[in-house]
Amino acid sequence: MPEFFDLPRELRDMIYLDVLIGQRATPTLEDTQSASRWNRPWEPKSGLGDHGCAFSSKRAPNTCANFLACNQQVNTEMMQIIERVRRKGMLAARMDCIAQDDMHYFTWLSIPLVKTGKCTHKADPKSGVVPTWAVRYLTAPHRALGTTRRHHTCHHSSSTTIEQLCIDIRFFPNTSATGKRRLETPRDLTSWAICAALKHVFEHDPDIIPTRDCQKDVTIDEVVLNVVPPLSPSSPPPKTTTHYLVSPSTNAVVEVEKENSHHPEAVAKELVDVWNKLWSGDEFKARYYRSLLGKIQRVRVCVDGVTFRVRELGVELERGRAESRRIEMRMR
């Protein structure tokens, strides 16, 4: 350590900066050809894997927590660099996504800093998914005996907050012109794969090892979904494609213009609309990933680094809770 402090402060600052914003190399398309390098997210309760989503078998990068804790002077100097980097918007966790055919391959590139702490909360049955009338019915004997406090147990858990998570979604041409028959469009596959990846981040550890009893409460202040157009600037994909249909009554050929699902803006639009599906919960996948709504404060969807749309999920959630409280007050 004395040798480190003998270095000029400017050089030490460069080392701190490299620790904070340095990231591992971006994977290539050839890296996806080896099945041993990728693991499917696994849901331990149901035993089902999430289709269309795979994580790199490499361990998630370490944060700079050990570096901050090694020495008081290092901590002081590095915290100054952290504040400087945060003001420039460069203190973000980064993840890469390779999208090709039906698969999306996710790789952690960097996790420079996270906020951790201990949280203590009471488990109230009314705060779960059981309707209020069912809670009152099930707890009626205990309320009559004056023992309802048994249902309010105290749980201790640790909280982890990621300030910003940036995911670059890179699209590559399909390996075949026809491909497999799919119920979802390619953009639908991308939005659900993103939901699967985020659910995996929230509910499992970075080592891709499923845990049955996770005591960590992970939240993200802002998720940035950046749709990267294919590397073909000379011939960008058109926004619409022409389809020719045959009328069954007249046998005439009808020309129909449809939105090109491979266009970056079409994918970005679906990444914005998927949160409406989670709110409505009309299909199984929407209900399965609905827990994401309480874990993310804001979602920013970008196309090639330019903001396309912003969803304030935290504000929407609080607005919905306030409306539920008003309805409950009217029902009393």
Task: Please list the alpha-helical segments (H only) found in 215-309.
Answer: 264-280, 284-288
Could you give the CA distance from residue 96 to residue 168 in angstroms, rounded to a whole number?
A: 5
Could you give the CA distance from residue 86 to residue 272 in angstroms, rounded to a whole number?
A: 26
Q: Which residue has the higher pLDDT, 289 or 141?
A: 289
Q: Which residue has the higher pLDDT, 225 or 55?
A: 225
Number of independent structural domains in the chain = 1
Query: Residue 118 in contact with residue 159, Cβ under 8 Å?
Result: yes
User: What is the 3-state composition of the chain as percent helix, strand, coil, each rounded to the nearest 5?
Assistant: 40, 30, 30
Q: What's the mean pLDDT when you consider all of the chain?
A: 77
Instruction: Name the nearest CA neighbour of 267 among 258, 259, 277.
Output: 259
Q: Which domain holds residue 215?
A: 2-331
Task: Please list the alpha-helical segments (H only) found in the chain.
Answer: 2-5, 9-21, 65-69, 72-87, 132-138, 140-145, 186-203, 264-280, 284-288, 313-331
Structure tokens at 21: 């914003």
CA distances to 5, 14, 68 from 73, in Å: 9, 16, 9
Could you give the CA distance from residue 181 to residue 299 in angstroms, rounded to a whole number?
A: 31
The predicted pLDDT at position 241 comes to 54
3-state secondary structure 39-96: ECCEECCCCEECCCEEEECCCCCCCCHHHHHCCHHHHHHHHHHHHHHHHCCCCCEEEE
- Residue 42: strand pairing partners: 49
Instruction: Name the nearest CA neighbour of 225 among 282, 285, 270.
Output: 270
Query: Residue 171 in contact with residue 99, Cβ under 8 Å?
Result: yes
3 state DSSP class of 213: coil
pLDDT above 90 (res 77) = yes
Could you give the CA distance from residue 286 to residue 271 in angstroms, rounded to a whole number?
A: 13
- Are β-strands 296-303 and 216-228 bridged in parallel, bridged antiparallel, or unpaired? parallel
pLDDT tens, position by position, 139-192:
554 444 444 444 444 455 678 889 999 999 999 887 765 444 455 555 578 999
Could you give the CA distance from residue 305 to residue 301 in angstroms, rounded to a whole number?
A: 9
**Using CA of residue 227, residue 109, residue 287, residue 292, what is the dihedral sign?**
negative
The predicted pLDDT at position 79 comes to 93
Cα torsion 178, 182, 187, 189 to 10°: value is -120
Query: Residue 206 in contact with residue 59, Cβ under 8 Å?
Result: yes
Its pTM stands at 0.75
Q: Which amino acid, 298? A: R
Segment of 122-136, 169-183, 300-314 carrying the highest mean pLDDT: 300-314
The predicted pLDDT at position 232 comes to 61
Structure tokens at 150: 């048994």
